Amino acid sequence: MIISAQSSGSHSTNSGSWTPIPGLAIELPRGVNDNVLLILNVPNPYATGNNFPGGTFGIEVNGSMLAPVAVFTYNESAPQSSGRIPTTLTALAPLSQSGEQKVVAVWQGVRGSTVIIDSPATLSAIVA
């Protein structure tokens, strides 16, 4: 089974703490001895700032942050143009026996930068 959500429009954050990415939340079904592969695909993000800007992406399950994160930063302290940095994160999580689980894609800026997505991003779950 595949469960997926897709963002639309332009979104940005300059938060230094985890913030939900608008439109990227899904509900996982109850499961027994099953795992789920979670995939966050952000194909065209970019960041602005003057201290090696970048963005960090993660996945929360029922409010708990999963250990894997994906990060991009620029090689220049103040890039003259903001190139696109395709970013994909995968993580494995067990399904809960006690009920549905809410999965939310989250992000934050690196060193005070603003992270922007202006093309569709997806959060998908493949239940095995």
Q: pLDDT, tens digit, for every residue of 10-34?
A: 999 999 999 999 999 999 988 877 8
In degrees rounded to 5, what are phi and psi of residue 53? -60, 160
Strands (E), 29-100: 35-42, 46-48, 54-61, 64-65, 70-73, 87-94
Reported pTM: 0.94
Give residue 41's identity as a one-letter amino acid code: N
CATH of span 2-127: 2.60.120.760
State the number of CA atoms in the 13 A half-sphere of 81 facing the CB. 2
Q: How far apart, in whole angstroms, are the C-alpha atoms of residue 10 and residue 43?
A: 13
DSSP state of 118: -
Q: What is the pLDDT of residues 66-117, one digit of tens each?
A: 999 999 999 999 888 888 999 999 999 988 888 889 999 999 999 999 999 9
Strands (E), 76-117: 87-94, 101-109, 114-117
pLDDT value of position 85: 94
**First-to-last CA distance in the chain?**
7
Position of tokens 């143009």? 81
pLDDT value of position 113: 96
Q: Which residues pair with 72 in a beta bridge?
A: 55
